[in-house]
Amino acid sequence: MNADRLADRLAARLGSWCDERAPPAVRQDRTETRDGFVVEHLIFDFGDESAPAILCRPADGTGPYPAILCPHAHGLRYAIGHRDLIEARPAMQAPAYGPVLAARGFVALSLDMPAFGGRQQPTEEARVKARLWQGATLIGDMLRELATALDYLAARDDVDAARLGAFGFSMGATHACWLAALEPRLAAVAHLCSFADLAPLIATGAHDLHKGYLTVPGLLADGDAGDIAALIAPRPQLIGTGVEDPLTHDGAYAPAIARVVAAYDQAGAAECLTVIREAASGHAETPRMRAEVLAFFDRWLG
């Protein structure tokens, strides 16, 4: 299946992704100045539900700055949600990405996904069931909200809309990757500890480590994770994984990364693909991953 056809099929299977988006309705709850950066506490109004969000930006200057959308992780820690932008998770390096990116001249934004943070009810399982019965998907809802957040970033006076990126870890990595595959405004994307084909995970039973949000009926009839990530080529992409991570074991990772490498080679953009494979690492961000992610965004968006 060619790339355009795959993108169309993925969008259709996600359900609500294809719905028309209203302009983002965002209000500021409060603002605080910390050591060298500003934190804006925001509320995104999606009509039937609101999502708390955090935006970190440099304390000095007016921009326009490059901006990174940072979908949060899962880890069964439903209470954390968007706060992992300023409070590092146990599986990630400290300090958290928000202050670090702001110190390097970036705006960074994260918002609570459905079932997380201030939106824990209904639960993930309840939302997945309801959306599947309604002919939609929870991940489609999540990606649509992230696209609205991208609309908001692009419209800010202090953001350079030509320098928008996405970064995520674990569930956030899947969000960042899939959003970049569907959203051409993302000029660069980095994702850690989630990239592997799903079909080989099913063969070993490791797919059950993914939670219900990732359920997309019929997805594998069109393509797999490697094919989705390949849609991002030739735009800059960083993929980081650990050999000891059961979600990215060799049998599922190797065929996926081979197709992405081939896509970048075919596009004449091999230098735009950064691949980090940590031999002694599991489902965690390593110091090398952190350094490579920051260098990646400095190079392509900074």
What is residue 269's predicted lDDT score, i.e. its pLDDT?
A: 98
Containing domain of residue 293, as a range? 3-300
Amino acid of residue 238: L
pLDDT tens digits, one per residue of 104-125? 999 999 999 999 999 999 999 9
Scored b (16 or more CB within 10 A) or e, 195-212 reads bbbbebbeeeebbeebbb
pLDDT (tens digit, 9 = 90+) per residue, 7-63? 999 999 999 887 888 888 999 999 999 988 999 999 999 988 999 999 999 998 888
User: What is the predicted pLDDT for the residue at 52?
Assistant: 98
* Model pTM score: 0.97
Number of domains in the chain: 1
* Domain CATH code at residue 234: 3.40.50.1820
Looking from the CA of 74 toward its CB, the CA atoms found within 13 Å total 23
